[in-house]
A = this chain, B = another copy of it.
């Protein structure tokens, strides 16, 4: 079976590496062959929103999927008519637009931060009054890793926020001084079976994920997060892996956003779960039974961003699993990740903090 994947980044690379042992073959589309997935599979190059290119990929593939959720849904829908495309385009559309996403959460009774859709400066002024301050103004589309966001601390920030982001479709959201961030990842098979991974606790710096600890040992939080994810998977008639990011605020969960794909906070599943998120995404979209999502030990995943230590330094660390995406170093760029598995949550957390200090000494984690 041949899988066509739109976007040839590290997620695509890890999908291919998980899929080859299942007997699957891969082809990607991206702007260049010099991409992480291009190291391990053929790439059709061009504009990833070009209908002709997408049609070519679809014709050559048994199933089409994506490693990047900002592909144009309408072009993709036309190019893949009558073909298997998973996750479903309806879910992709909901995840691309922060407003549609928020409304999906509301409709399903999944608690989320208060928000307002913003198209004019007047709407923004009213929203700061109604939703409250501080708040965050965000573009409805194409935001990731903290890009396209503006924090408003007081009414004085309205000018700056509007000057920076005004003119595109926006969302104004209440700022929640949350206690910490978690994410939950699950897969839904074509037959409706659902499998959900243990809870991830995520630590960011500069808007970028730096560290994930999983399973995060908060059974009540994990159960609530899993229930919300399950509701989303079912309501969206989802097929594939879906990620839900949430804030924990005074013991309460608030859905932040969803990603209709495998997720950075699930990279630990390669070594730390019976079946990785990558394999389960492929099993789901190919109509195969899902694999067990049970954890194997206690994992810590550290992102390596901007620059890399020598491989020999990393690999001298006992039990460290290293994943080099093969990208050129550049400030703020995710170049790879490493995963540790320990026999207890305490040892895992202690070791992760020590390793983080060694690998990224200037890093300050939030919260």
B21 touches A322 (CB 8 A): yes
**Nearest-CB residue, chain B, relative to A327:** B23
* A316 within 8 A of partner (CB): yes
Instruction: List CB contacts (< 8 Å) of A272-310 with chain B.
Output: 274, 283, 287-289, 291-292, 296-297
Picked from B274, B283, B311, B323, the residue with its CB within 8 Å of the CB of A288 is B311
**A contact residues, range:** 20 to 34
Would you give the 0/1 interface string for A194-228, flagging 1 where the beta carbon is closer than 8 Å to chain B? Answer: 00000000000000000000000000000000000
Is A62 at the interface (CB under 8 A from chain B)?
no
Kindly report which residue of chain B lies nearest to residue A320, judged by CB atoms: B291
Residue of B nearest to A23 (CB): B324
| CB of A39 closer than 8 Å to a CB of B | yes
Nearest opposing residue in chain B for A1, CB measure: B311
A312 within 8 A of B: yes
Q: Find out whether the CB atom of B274 lies under 8 angstroms from the CB atom of A319.
A: yes
The residue of chain B having its C-beta at the shortest distance from the C-beta of A274 within the complex is B319
Residues of chain B with a CB closer than 8 A to A274's CB: 319, 341
Query: A40: which of B40, B296, B336 is its contact (CB, 8 Å)?
Result: B40
A17 CB within 8 Å of chain B: yes
Which of A13, A23, A322 has the largest number of chain B CB atoms within 10 A?
A23
